[in-house]
Structure 1
């Protein structure tokens, strides 16, 4: 359980509205430095104060959408969140200057949604469902 002192300190830092939103979405009140924002509107934060955050959990993402999943985080931000890269993409000169011409914009995984990829098949099926043939009956006198 979060202590009363930490709760009051969090409300003072982020405001009552943002504190309530964080409690609803992530179940913890966090405050830190805004590092950057991606094309989806997700905000990325970092808090290097060792007294407030558990080691390894000092970087986090605030998703823009309520129905969120991990595929909404672009690869460059994922590598920063996972501590693969030291600097965030907004602060790293290599990431800012590196944009290959073949790189397409990041899209989330749409499996299980209406936007999921479905193949279109043009070949005849190997078997077809049986269709009964109805013959006309003779008229009785």
Structure 2
């Protein structure tokens, strides 16, 4: 539940446009410190003030795309959002040093979109659709 004092305080800190965007996209009037950005353009925030945020809900992501889903969060940031890691990947030396150079970049799940993988069948169909064979009508049929 969002209190009136918290809402007014967050409007004062972030401004009307930031407050309205958060209210539309995440459904809450939150304000926090920017901790980093990933390759998709998603922004990750944290608010450690216990009087403003419920414990466990003090980290959140602001998605860059309008049609967002959870697969747009890379594994490094997911571990930070889920409290598996203490420090965000932008500040964690372990994540920065141990990421191998041959690792492919994270790609979101494209199921249900135009970019989804679709196989095609090379076997002949077992059922053939009926197609009528038109014949030309002669002039002697009605004579």
TM-score, length-normalised on structure 1?
Answer: 0.87
The alignment partner of 2:39 has SS state of: coil
1:124 matched residue in structure 2: 124
Deviations 1:10-53 (A, max 9, x none): 11111111011111111211111111001111100111111111
Deviations 1:62-95 (A, max 9, x none): 1111211111111111111111122111111111
The alignment partner of 2:22 has SS state of: helix
1:114 matched residue in structure 2: 114
Question: 1-side partners of 2:14 and 2:84: how far apart?
Answer: 28
The alignment partner of 1:6 has SS state of: helix
Work out the number of aligned pairs and report it: 141
Question: 2-side partners of 1:126 and 1:75: how far apart?
Answer: 44
Instruction: Kindly indicate whether residue 41 of structure 2 is the aligned counterpart of residue 35 of structure 1.
Output: no
Q: What root-mean-square deviation, in Å, do the aligned CA atoms of Structure 1 and Structure 2 show? A: 2.0
* Cα displacement (A) at 1:59: 0.5
- Describe the shift of the 1:87–1:137 C-alpha distance in structure 2 as closer, same or farther (beyond 3 A): same
Question: 1-side partners of 2:97 and 2:82: how far apart?
Answer: 22
* Cα displacement (A) at 1:5: 1.6
Question: 2-side partners of 1:137 and 1:9: how far apart?
Answer: 84
- Describe the shift of the 1:134–1:27 C-alpha distance in structure 2 as closer, same or farther (beyond 3 A): closer
TM-score, length-normalised on structure 2?
Answer: 0.86
Instruction: Kindly indicate whether residue 69 of structure 2 is the aligned counterpart of residue 59 of structure 1.
Output: no
* Cα displacement (A) at 1:99: 2.5
Instruction: Kindly indicate whether residue 5 of structure 2 is the aligned counterpart of residue 5 of structure 1.
Output: yes
Which structure 2 residue ranges, 5 or more long, are not aligned?
A: none
Question: 1-side partners of 2:36 and 2:136: how far apart?
Answer: 75
